[in-house]
Amino acid sequence: MYPQEFEYFCPETLEDAVGLLSKYGEEARVLAGGQSLIPLMKLRLASPKYLIHLGGIQGLSTIEEQDGMISFGALTRHAEVEESSLVQAKLPMMHDAVSMIGDVQIRNLGTIGGCLVHADPAGDMAPALLALGARVNTLSSNGKRTLKIHELIVDAYSTDLGEDEVVTRVLVPIPQKGSGGVYLKFERRAGDFAVASVGVQISLQKDGTCSEIAVALGAVGFTAIRARKAEELLRGKQVDDVLAKQAADQASAEADPFSDIRGSAEYKRHLVGVLFQRALKIALKRAGGEEVDTVHL
Amino acid sequence: MPQAYRSVEITVNGLTYNRQVEPRRLLSDFLREDLDLRGTHVGCEHGICGACTVLMNGYTVRSCLMFAVQANGAEITTIEGLAKNGKLHPLQEAFWENHGLQCGFCTPGFLLSACELLERNPDPTEEEVRVGLSGNMCRCTGYQGIVESVLAAASKMKAQK
Ligand SMILES: Cc1cc2nc3c(=O)[nH]c(=O)nc-3n(C[C@H](O)[C@H](O)[C@H](O)COP(=O)(O)OP(=O)(O)OC[C@H]3O[C@@H](n4cnc5c(N)ncnc54)[C@H](O)[C@@H]3O)c2cc1C
Ligand code: FES
Ligand code: FES
């Protein structure tokens, strides 16, 4: 299995990378960790004539805290996100999600930028980052832009990026104290993509009323979906089992799954409800300061 | 369009090689064909089975999902680099003693994944071993012997420290 021939570039600056992309247009493709692009190239579903590897650019894989955000360079590998003490302490939902991506070898090479731009409907970064209200910074020959996750990912495997536009950083706001987040994924085989996944970030007032909530669903639509009606049911209320069940039914209704090798649409819709209720319970516990392990559920 | 060859400098098991490669040369084939190190096995060739796993700068990667040019400047360890001075690595010994292999096709990949696992977590639980090795597949052993081998190696390596 060999890809079509291509010319390879390894520029040292972002500006040079953008310059090469502008020059070669739609015949060029960016290479990050290669964990999605190389399989596509081997199957010749992608045959770029010019491959522009970002790996030679310094400073694109740092994780920094600034102005209430955690900022990730686009080339930060999944393993680096997983091991980051900042992420473990301040973005538990993101830690859950990244630990569930593929297996060790995939996480050792795959990057946060590549995972978002590949825009697999069953990818794990998009739902978690959608629920967290993350943004991405980009650079192109037209200058810089900042996009929300749903503005970046417009359809299955499609983004709003221009031909010569690269993602440079991913910015994730740190939820305030008293907020709890979790990401749960259901997979049939170790290391596989999700059959369905749910991310919940909930903030509670002192009396336990839900002041803010974000719910994102993964693998049950062409892109990650915000379950906004389910959120509405919970906002401003004390969450009890009855309300949780109503919200779960609502989240199932908002899912837009298709039947495929991983399960029927009906089954996936059901899974969303179950995962949502489990996730809500854990998010509430975490909001109360409790530590809950999700990887070994 | 003629494909320009690229120079790469890659250190494999402590030896530094300078070679010219086609950009589309996979790291797995670079190791097997260009360097004649055929211990790295190629199973599925599309990133599922883990047979082609090697260590790059200390962490496991699938050599069939990387171009050799991406490894320019890196240090690679393959299965040929595990035994030192004719003495098997404790993991290799443990696989031998605990039926960690049958046909042996998956074994190089498993050994390198287990190396990284024990490097990061010298005292893993059985579950942590299973999760840590989930990127490698074995068609023969049913995994039980492999998990036992890794746990045995872990206690041996701890005792030696
Ligand atoms: C066996 C297997 C299992 C997997 N399981 C999961 C899973 O469970 N969950 C999950 O979420 N993912 C999974 N993945 C995918 C993995 O997360 C990939 O790492 C990720 O999708 C792509 O990241 P990458 O850095 O390897 O990108 P690449 O493969 O290098 O690139 C992917 C795409 O993004 C573009 N691109 C990359 N970086 C940028 C940038 N900075 N700016 C603009 N465009 C860019 C490339 O041009 C390409 O189109 C799996 C992959 C494999 C092979
Ligand atoms: S040969 Fe590389 S993963 Fe199967
Ligand atoms: S021993 Fe035969 S595949 Fe593992």
Residue B14 has pLDDT above 60, yes or no: yes
Q: How far apart are CA B141 and CA A253, in angstroms?
A: 44
Same domain flag for A188 and A266: yes
Q: How far apart are CA B54 and CA B115, in angstroms?
A: 10
Nearest to B65 among A5, A34, A49 (CB): A34
Q: How far apart are CA A86 and CA A103, in angstroms?
A: 22
Total domain count for chain A? 3
> B6-12 and B75-77 as β-strands: parallel, antiparallel, unpaired?
parallel
A262: Cα separation from own chain's centroid: 20
pLDDT tier at B3, thresholds 50, 70, 90: low
Q: Report yes or no for ipTM above 0.90.
A: yes
Contact B46, A42 (CB under 8 A): yes
Q: Given A56, A73, A91, which residue is the final one in a domain?
A: A56
Does A39 sit within 8 Å of B46, measured CB to CB? yes
Residue A295: inside a domain: no
Nearest ligand 3 atom to the CA of B101 is 1
Q: At A107, which CATH number? A: 3.30.465.10
Q: Which residues contact A285 (CB under 8 A, 6 or more apart)?
A: A180, A292
Quick one: pLDDT at residue A1?
A: 77
Q: Given A173, A192, A215, which residue is the final one in a domain?
A: A173
Quick one: pLDDT at residue A132?
A: 98
pLDDT tier at A177, thresholds 50, 70, 90: confident
Q: How far apart are CA A275 and CA A271, in angstroms?
A: 6
Same domain flag for A110 and A47: no
Can you give the pTM of this predicted structure?
Answer: 0.96
Give span(s): CATH 1.10.150.120, chain B. Answer: 90-160
Q: Does B134 touch chain A (CB under 8 A)?
A: yes
Q: Which residues contact A176 (CB under 8 A, 6 or more apart)?
A: A203
Q: Given A118, A140, A173, which residue is the final one in a domain?
A: A173
Residue A1: inside a domain: no
C-alpha B63 – ligand 2 centre gap (Å): 7
Same domain flag for A191 and A143: no
Query: Searching chain A, which residue's CA lies closest to the CA of residue B132?
Result: A104
Same domain flag for A68 and A168: yes
Q: At A23, which CATH number? A: 3.30.43.10
pLDDT tier at A296, thresholds 50, 70, 90: low
- In CATH, the number for domain B90-160 is 1.10.150.120
The single-letter DSSP state of residue B37 is: -
Does A6 sit within 8 Å of B3, measured CB to CB? yes
Q: Mean pLDDT for chain B?
A: 96
Q: Tens digit of pLDDT for each residue in A54-90?
A: 999 999 999 999 999 999 999 999 999 999 999 999 9
Contact A216, A130 (CB under 8 A): yes
> DSSP letters of A172-221?
EEPPPTTEEEEEEEE-SSTTPPPSEEEEEEEEE-TTSBEEEEEEEEESSS
- How far CA B76 is from CA of A84, B42, B70, in Å, comes to 24, 16, 12
Q: Mean pLDDT for chain A?
A: 96
Nearest to B70 among A55, A103, A105 (CB): A55
Same domain flag for A51 and A115: no
Q: Which ligand is nearest to the CA of A106?
A: 1
- How far CA B91 is from CA of A143, A175, B133, in Å, comes to 52, 43, 14
> What is the span of the domain harbouring residue A219?
179-287
Q: Which residues contact A294 (CB under 8 A, 6 or more apart)?
A: A96, A182, A183, A184, A282
Quick one: pLDDT at residue A297?
A: 53
Contact B103, B140 (CB under 8 A): yes
C-alpha A238 – ligand 1 centre gap (Å): 39
Q: How far apart are CA A100 and CA A82, in angstroms?
A: 10
Token digits for A259?
Answer: 């039947």
Nearest ligand 1 atom to the CA of A29 is 47
**% chain A with pLDDT above 90:** 94
Residue A88: inside a domain: yes
pLDDT tier at A47, thresholds 50, 70, 90: very high
Closest CA to A134 of A166, A102, A94: A94
Give span(s): CATH 3.10.20.30, chain B. Answer: 6-81
Q: Tens digit of pLDDT for each residue in A185-211?
A: 999 888 899 999 999 999 999 999 999
Same domain flag for A14 and A78: no
Q: How far apart are CA A86 and CA A64, in angstroms?
A: 8
Q: Whose CA is nearest to atom 21 of ligand 1?
A: A115
Q: Which ligand is nearest to the CA of A140?
A: 1
Does B47 sit within 8 Å of A38, measured CB to CB? yes
Q: Does domain B6-81 have CATH number 1.10.8.870?
A: no
Residue A33 has pLDDT above 60, yes or no: yes
A-B C-beta contacts closer than 8 Å: 84
> B75-77 and B53-56 as β-strands: parallel, antiparallel, unpaired?
antiparallel
Residue A75: inside a domain: yes
